[in-house]
Structure 1
Amino acid sequence: MKLDVALIHPPSVYDFRKSPSYASMISEVIPSMYVFDMMPYGFLTLATYLEKNGLNVAIFNLAAKMLKDRSFDVEKYIKRIEADLFGIDLHWAVHAQGAIEIARIIKEIHPESKVVLGGLSSTYFRYEVIRYPFIDAILTGDSAELPLLRYIEEGPERTPNIIWKDGGKIRENPLSWIPESLDEFGIDHEFLLRNVKKTRDLAISSPFASFDEAPIAGVITMKGCPFNCITCGGSRFAYERAYMRRKLAIKSPEAIADEVEGIARISKMPIFFVGDLRIGGMGRVERVSKLLKELDLENELIFEFFTPPSKEVLGYIRRTSHSVYLQISPESPFEDIRRAFGRPYTNQSLEKMVSNSESLGFERLDLYFMVGLPFQRREQAISVADYFRKLREISKRLDSFVSPLAPFVDPGSRAYMDPGAFGYIITLRDFEDYRRALLSEHWMKSLNYETRWMNRREIAEASLDAYERLLAERYLQGIVDEEAYELAMERIKLDKLVLDRVERGIPIDDLKDRIDELARRSDARVKKGLSLYPTSGLAERIRNPILRALITLVR
């Protein structure tokens, strides 16, 4: 099939299957595995928008396919894709190595096709990235729907938000198209089903590798952020200075409800709402609650909050579905650390949220903590388990997760631009530094920062100890079953062994088979009780029996 546009999601490292490296801890609090196989949701808005404008589009998640099939021949498969334009995401810097290598491979195989990158990191590093000879253009900023269509139909000269090659010169048009509303750029979630029909392969069509075992859908409710968490490349500071977004783009309650209805029409999979619904006002929360309740959903719903909400807000959220989950990221049990990071609220307000979630009957409240924060020392980092134990006395509906701030302090964030002001030391600056760092034998070596209070080795060790202690507490509380607990402990033990060897300069080639074997078993996080979200198979969630049969056929 000839495509107008092939959207390609690369692994963070190509080819991770041949690399004796260990990166387990860096993806503990996201659905992706250690190669960051979750494609950006922007692919779905792009695909929906381009299809509406008459283009033939398909998405290929190479990272997910490579995880599911260790013998998958990437280059052979790319030869089969015929497309006028290949679009590759380089949204976060964790894909710096994989995105560039996949771009190189595509250009070698399809020299007449355009190779275009997009995303926040490709925007930030655009003057370095555009110099690779196999990249034709970069679409800059946080939105690429109209620019990509304009580039295809009219060429780069009339396209906003683009940097491109014109013969031997590099030219750039201003980052001027910054939509203030998301209503025009909703997602047709049936595209995922059409995509499976095009590729005849569920793994390469999936949003992430474990999608068929634990599917989840998402609704983007906003772009931009009013908060200034100091290491975040999606903070207000970064959006204003690096990506020219000076006003939030808010999706209306009606557009949110329409998108949810589209998901619910084809499936009963859980739905995650990206962005705090209170941004936009209390009226927005009430209206979204009313519209979702009227849909009478069978789907579990998951809402995130950036600060603890009032009981009134939680009451509205609780009415949206039969089963509702909550998430918040306190980052640290210590208020001074949390405040320094950019989360200015007290433990008292957090504990009130825990209590209210219990009394209102939410399915679960998840708390996310982090290691590598300002003012944070080892003893504070590993105390997450103690605070979790205390909070479980308030509510047994509580769960908690911890990970290092990894692998990078985001380029464009406040701590990246002025590290000394926040107690950080940034060790990587050039784009090529990031490409090389991602090939490190252990994830600790890929960190682009240290702090005034912990060096990289101490951050890695504190992260592993904090994870181990919290895991043990969750096991004792009956949240994690024995099989999942033993697997996770095995991963921690291997992580510490690799770290010690790498620090002492001892080769780890003899550990590659063990690393690979544990990597293959790591989807047990989903199957054996370590899932971040509600789980059940994709086929069980699909409503249409014909589509269920198709899903089963193309696995």
Structure 2
Amino acid sequence: MKLDVALIHPPSVYDFRKSPSYASMISEVIPSMYVFDMMPYGFLTLATYLEKNGLNVAIFNLAAKMLKDRSFDVEKYIKRIEADLFGIDLHWAVHAQGAIEIARIIKEIHPESKVVLGGLSSTYFRYEVIRYPFIDAILTGDSAELPLLRYIEEGPERTPNIIWKDGGKIRENPLSWIPESLDEFGIDHEFLLRNVKKTRDLAISSPFASFDEAPIAGVITMKGCPFNCITCGGSRFAYERAYMRRKLAIKSPEAIADEVEGIARISKMPIFFVGDLRIGGMGRVERVSKLLKELDLENELIFEFFTPPSKEVLGYIRRTSHSVYLQISPESPFEDIRRAFGRPYTNQSLEKMVSNSESLGFERLDLYFMVGLPFQRREQAISVADYFRKLREISKRLDSFVSPLAPFVDPGSRAYMDPGAFGYIITLRDFEDYRRALLSEHWMNSLNYETRWMNRREIAEASLDAYERLLTERYLQGIVDEEAYELAMERIELDKLVLDRVERGIPIDDLKDRIDELARRSDARVKKGLSLYPTSGLAERIRNPILRALITLVR
């Protein structure tokens, strides 16, 4: 297939299929599996923008395809793609190994094509990454639409936000194009359907590997953040210092509603709104509520909040659809730990939100907790189940999840830049350190930090114990079904076994088949049973019968 631009999403590690490793715990509370197969949302904005400007674009999710088809020959497939430019995402550092390996393969097969990287991590590590001989350029910052188009049409000299090779020299144009509105960069969600028609392959066209079994759509409502969670590479601190964004980019209520309508026109899948709608003012909440209500949606809607909202705000959110879910991340049941992390609110305000969500009839409120926080010791980490039990007395429409802060304290975050001030010890600094760490046999050894209160082994063990205790509580309360509970418990036991063997220097090659079964084949079943979000098959969610037939054909 001949393209102007091929957008490539790599697995976190290439080739993860050839060596046994266990890392499911680090992706247990997101739709992605342990190789972080969910492609970046920015691929869809890029593809929409470039298509509008007359370019032929396709997206290839190599990570998802590799998970779905263990015999998939990556190099053979890449040979079939003819493109003037290959764009590879290196947004979070978890793709440090896989993105570079895929870039190398592409350049070896297509030496005349440009290989360009983009994303926050490639920006942060740009002076190291650009030195790989098979990478032609890196687009820097949090937005690449106009720079990529300019690079294609006019070359690097006239392109903002770029570092590139010019003969034997490395040159850089400053990070100067930072859009203050997202309205110009909406998504045509029908692009995904056109992409399937181009590739004739649902797995390689899917946003993530289990999309066929549990589809979900997203709407980005903002870029940047007003909060300073200390380990987050998307915090205000990181955006201002590393990515030059000093002003939030807000998507208007009208643009949000247009995007939702585009999703609803083709499917009934759940829609997750990324970003707290209160950022931008109460008027924005009211306007979004009104516009979404007028759409009379059949889709379930999921809204996140960074701090507990008022009952008035929740009232507006509840009117948006027949079925509405809420999410918030208190991180810890302990207020001092939460405050130290950058979430400055009380348990009283959180419990008020729980009560209000019950009285207003939300489908569910999900709470997310984390292990590896400042001031947090093991006994505090594993107490999540106890706090959850208490909150369930307020509302039975409540669910909860816990995971380690893994694998990395984000480069560019406050804790990364000044670890001692927050009780962290950062163990990885150079980009090559991250590439090597991602090849570890157990996820504990990929962590780039310890804290003053727990070392890496203690963080791993506390994470597993906290997860097991919360899982058991959810099972006893009838939230998790028996099959999902038993599979999840098997995964915990395997995780502990791999950890013990790795720590004692005992090979894990004989566990490869079991790891493959529990970490990959069972992942969708576990996550569906754990109910991260409302699920049903993609074909059931697609409205058009012709499109349903197409999806069935290209499975």
Q: TM-score, normalised by structure 2?
A: 0.99
Deviation of residue 521 (structure 1)?
Answer: 2.8
- 1:29-60 Cα offsets, whole Å, 9 max, x none, are 11100000000000000000000000000000
- 1:474-524 Cα offsets, whole Å, 9 max, x none, are 000001011110000000001001111111111111111211121233334
Aligned residue for 2:255, secondary structure, equals: helix
Give the match for residue 145 of structure 1: 145
Q: Work out whether residues 484 and 524 of structure 1, in 8 Å CA contact, stay in contact via their aligned partners in 2.
A: no
Deviation of residue 126 (structure 1)?
Answer: 0.1
Q: Work out whether residues 216 and 272 of structure 1, in 8 Å CA contact, stay in contact via their aligned partners in 2.
A: yes
Structure 2 distance, partners of 1:227, 1:525, is 35
Deviation of residue 526 (structure 1)?
Answer: 5.3
Deviation of residue 530 (structure 1)?
Answer: 1.6
Q: Work out whether residues 487 and 526 of structure 2, in 8 Å CA contact, stay in contact via their aligned partners in 1.
A: no
Q: Work out whether residues 210 and 524 of structure 2, in 8 Å CA contact, stay in contact via their aligned partners in 1.
A: no
Q: Work out whether residues 480 and 531 of structure 2, in 8 Å CA contact, stay in contact via their aligned partners in 1.
A: no
Give the match for residue 68 of structure 2: 68
Aligned residue for 2:261, secondary structure, equals: helix
Structure 2 distance, partners of 1:495, 1:371, is 16
Q: Work out whether residues 22 and 519 of structure 2, in 8 Å CA contact, stay in contact via their aligned partners in 1.
A: no
Deviation of residue 366 (structure 1)?
Answer: 0.4
Structure 2 distance, partners of 1:342, 1:160, is 33
Structure 2 distance, partners of 1:481, 1:274, is 28
The size of the alignment, in residue pairs, is 555
Structure 2 distance, partners of 1:489, 1:465, is 11
Structure 2 distance, partners of 1:187, 1:530, is 30
> Gaps (5+ residues) in structure 2?
none
- 1:374-405 Cα offsets, whole Å, 9 max, x none, are 00000000000000000000000000000000
Aligned residue for 2:530, secondary structure, equals: coil
- 1:251-276 Cα offsets, whole Å, 9 max, x none, are 00000000000001111111000000
Q: Work out whether residues 222 and 251 of structure 1, in 8 Å CA contact, stay in contact via their aligned partners in 2.
A: yes
Structure 2 distance, partners of 1:21, 1:142, is 31
Structure 2 distance, partners of 1:275, 1:438, is 29
Which 4+ runs in 1 deviate beyond 6 A? Answer: none
Structure 1 distance, partners of 2:530, 2:71, is 27
RMSD in angstroms over aligned alpha carbons?
0.7
Structure 1 distance, partners of 2:136, 2:528, is 44
Structure 2 distance, partners of 1:243, 1:405, is 23
- 1:268-307 Cα offsets, whole Å, 9 max, x none, are 1110000000000000000000000000000000000000
Aligned residue for 1:88, secondary structure, equals: strand
Q: Work out whether residues 311 and 353 of structure 1, in 8 Å CA contact, stay in contact via their aligned partners in 2.
A: yes
Give the match for residue 325 of structure 1: 325
Give the match for residue 407 of structure 1: 407
Q: Work out whether residues 389 and 473 of structure 1, in 8 Å CA contact, stay in contact via their aligned partners in 2.
A: yes
- 1:89-130 Cα offsets, whole Å, 9 max, x none, are 000000000000000000000000000000000000000000
Aligned residue for 2:309, secondary structure, equals: coil
For 1:429-448, list aligned pairs within 5 A: 429-448=429-448
Give the match for residue 523 of structure 2: 523
Structure 2 distance, partners of 1:525, 1:175, is 43
- 1:221-255 Cα offsets, whole Å, 9 max, x none, are 00000000000000000000000000000000000
Give the match for residue 534 of structure 1: 534
Distance 1:527 1:425, change over 3 A: closer
- 1:289-335 Cα offsets, whole Å, 9 max, x none, are 00000000000000000000000000000000000000000000000
Give the match for residue 298 of structure 1: 298
Structure 2 distance, partners of 1:85, 1:246, is 31
Q: Work out whether residues 481 and 528 of structure 1, in 8 Å CA contact, stay in contact via their aligned partners in 2.
A: no
Deviation of residue 430 (structure 1)?
Answer: 0.0
- 1:451-491 Cα offsets, whole Å, 9 max, x none, are 00000000000000000000000000001011110000000
Structure 2 distance, partners of 1:30, 1:516, is 19
For 1:422-433, list aligned pairs within 5 A: 422-433=422-433
Structure 1 distance, partners of 2:186, 2:528, is 34
Q: Work out whether residues 187 and 259 of structure 2, in 8 Å CA contact, stay in contact via their aligned partners in 1.
A: yes
Structure 2 distance, partners of 1:67, 1:478, is 31
Structure 2 distance, partners of 1:527, 1:447, is 23
Structure 2 distance, partners of 1:133, 1:527, is 40
Deviation of residue 19 (structure 1)?
Answer: 1.4
Quote the sequence identity (%). 99
Give the match for residue 102 of structure 1: 102
Q: TM-score, normalised by structure 1?
A: 0.99
Q: Work out whether residues 213 and 524 of structure 2, in 8 Å CA contact, stay in contact via their aligned partners in 1.
A: no
Q: Work out whether residues 64 and 208 of structure 2, in 8 Å CA contact, stay in contact via their aligned partners in 1.
A: yes
Structure 2 distance, partners of 1:520, 1:354, is 34
Q: Work out whether residues 90 and 121 of structure 1, in 8 Å CA contact, stay in contact via their aligned partners in 2.
A: yes
Structure 1 distance, partners of 2:521, 2:457, is 26
Structure 1 distance, partners of 2:525, 2:125, is 34
Structure 1 distance, partners of 2:88, 2:212, is 23
Q: Work out whether residues 491 and 519 of structure 2, in 8 Å CA contact, stay in contact via their aligned partners in 1.
A: no
For 1:173-192, list aligned pairs within 5 A: 173-192=173-192
Deviation of residue 528 (structure 1)?
Answer: 4.9
**Comparing 153-162 and 521-530, the one that deviates more:** 521-530
**Comparing 18-27 and 241-250, the one that deviates more:** 18-27
- 1:125-159 Cα offsets, whole Å, 9 max, x none, are 00000000000000000000000000000000000
Q: Work out whether residues 4 and 85 of structure 1, in 8 Å CA contact, stay in contact via their aligned partners in 2.
A: yes
**Comparing 415-424 and 518-527, the one that deviates more:** 518-527
Aligned residue for 2:408, secondary structure, equals: coil
Q: Work out whether residues 231 and 414 of structure 1, in 8 Å CA contact, stay in contact via their aligned partners in 2.
A: yes
- 1:516-552 Cα offsets, whole Å, 9 max, x none, are 1212333344575123110001011111110010001
Structure 2 distance, partners of 1:510, 1:210, is 27
Aligned residue for 2:366, secondary structure, equals: strand
Q: Work out whether residues 237 and 414 of structure 1, in 8 Å CA contact, stay in contact via their aligned partners in 2.
A: yes
Distance 1:71 1:553, change over 3 A: same
Q: Work out whether residues 302 and 325 of structure 1, in 8 Å CA contact, stay in contact via their aligned partners in 2.
A: yes
Q: Work out whether residues 107 and 115 of structure 2, in 8 Å CA contact, stay in contact via their aligned partners in 1.
A: yes
> Gaps (5+ residues) in structure 1?
none
